[in-house]
Amino acid sequence: MQGEAQLKEQDRLDSLDRYDVLDTPSEEGFDRITRLTRRYFGVSMSSITFTDGHRQWFKSQQGMAIHETARAQAFCHTAPRGGEPLVVPDALADSRYKSHPLVVGEPHIRFYAGVPLRTPDGHEIGMLSAMDTQPRNFAISDLEMLYDLANVVMNALELRTLATTDELTGALSRRAFREEATRAIGLGLRHGHDVSLVCFDLDHFKKINDTHGHPMGDLVLRESVATCMETLRQTDLMGRMGGEEFAILLPHTGPATALTVAEKVRAAVAALPIIGTNGKIPVSASFGVATLGHGAGDIDELMKRADVALYAAKAGGRNRCVEWGLTEPAPIIIRRRVLKAGLICFNGGRSTIDCTVRNLSASNAGLDVLSVEDVPDRFKLLIRSDALHRACRIVGKEERHVEVEFW
């Protein structure tokens, strides 16, 4: 039974990952729904949240300043619901919630009503919630309306997956980029011309968001993409693959020229004159370059090789470009982008910290946590869905993220 539950949880995380919504900037379509929820029910707070392996993350919120909480602090996590809605008329009069940190402390929730955000295949990936600082009742008709609004949220998520361009930056969406890149690679193979791929991440982007706020982070993303597009040809493709992760496909371009293009883009991003409240915001990016051929015959293999080079650029100090094959010995260790629930275990198993595994290989992993302060330098990582148990040591820390090697 426990193994079955772990597999179901992994299926849920896979379903959530399909929407590529975690840690994305605010979007008017979702903010409109939380504003409507707040006004319709006359409550002081409303939110759209998604739950990964270790936290409840707020995609949109009204009337509250919370951006994420530990998964155990989510109201719906405290009371097992079996897929049912959760209504708490007065949290202080409810034994399950009267000592809850969000009840006795900010934002002092007294009333809570939430319905699950359910995917077409039946997985609950989050909640749409209405909350207030005063106790109140919630009629069946109110609950029906909240379900209707939750369906609007899910429709917006589904439409997001069909979009061809990223709303914030104007780059191609991940799906559109992969489709266009696959077509271009097919032409390259058929006619025997070079095709190169450049993958890059903005360096320390979470620190920009944490220090200067998400609106300034949005500006950095927009300006970075605009600068890249000014540097590229009209025939080149650029896509947003994740929060601060991008890819550029260069048709009719060999490895030497691709590395030159990547260096031009790197220099342009590093020269961006973005000014925050405390002066100029340092912006840079790390780049990995790979070219079609030598066993790379599709977008997946090309992405893997470019990612390997990108990780080498990060390990080499960031703000640099690395070509696949020049620095990495064979065999190549590929880190897959994943979304898995993990558990950090230490003190002989007596202490644990929930985490979300975001990328994984046979020898290392990247983990998201609520705070890196309590994570020891050495621990054991447990991923129950994969029956994986590995001793780890930290090789890098960044805000709420740790990089580990297995040993």
Q: Which two tokens stand for residue 280?
A: 């100029």
- Mapping DSSP to helix (H, G, I), strand (E, B) and coil, where does residue 173 land? coil
Q: Which residue has the higher pLDDT, 273 or 50?
A: 50
Ranges of H-type helices in 20-105: 28-41, 75-78, 101-104
DSSP 15: H
In this predicted model, what pLDDT tens digit does every residue of 320-354 receive, in sequence order?
A: 999 998 654 444 455 677 899 999 999 999 999 99
Count Cβ neighbours within 10 Å for each residue of 340-358 and write b for 16 or more, e otherwise: bbbbbbbeeeeeebbbbbb
Q: How far apart are CA 81 and CA 8, in angstroms?
A: 16
Q: Which helix (H) or strand (E) holds 187?
A: helix 174-191
- Mapping DSSP to helix (H, G, I), strand (E, B) and coil, where does residue 258 land? helix
Q: In what order do the strands lie in the sheet with 86-88?
A: 68-70, 55-62, 45-51, 124-132, 111-118, 86-88
| pTM over the 0.85 mark | no
Residue positions counted in the chain: 407
Please, which residues have CB within 8 angstroms of residue 170's CB and are 6 or more apart in sequence?
A: 222, 225, 226, 229
- Mapping DSSP to helix (H, G, I), strand (E, B) and coil, where does residue 78 land? helix
In this predicted model, what pLDDT tens digit does every residue of 235-258 receive, in sequence order?
A: 999 999 888 999 999 999 999 999
DSSP codes of every residue in 260-282: HHHHHHHHHHHT---EETTEEPP
Q: How far apart are CA 401 and CA 366, in angstroms?
A: 7
**In the predicted model, what is the mean pLDDT of the chain?**
91
Q: How far apart are CA 3 and CA 244, in angstroms?
A: 34
Q: Which residues are catalytic?
A: 244
- Mapping DSSP to helix (H, G, I), strand (E, B) and coil, where does residue 334 land? coil
Alpha carbon separation from 385 to 123, 333, 380, 403 (Å, rounded): 16, 22, 15, 20
Domains located in the chain, CATH noted: 2-162 (3.30.450.40), 174-323 (3.30.70.270), 336-406 (2.40.10)
In this predicted model, what pLDDT tens digit does every residue of 288-312 receive, in sequence order?
A: 999 987 777 788 889 889 988 998 9
In this predicted model, what pLDDT tens digit does every residue of 109-140 receive, in sequence order?
A: 999 999 999 999 999 999 999 999 999 999 99
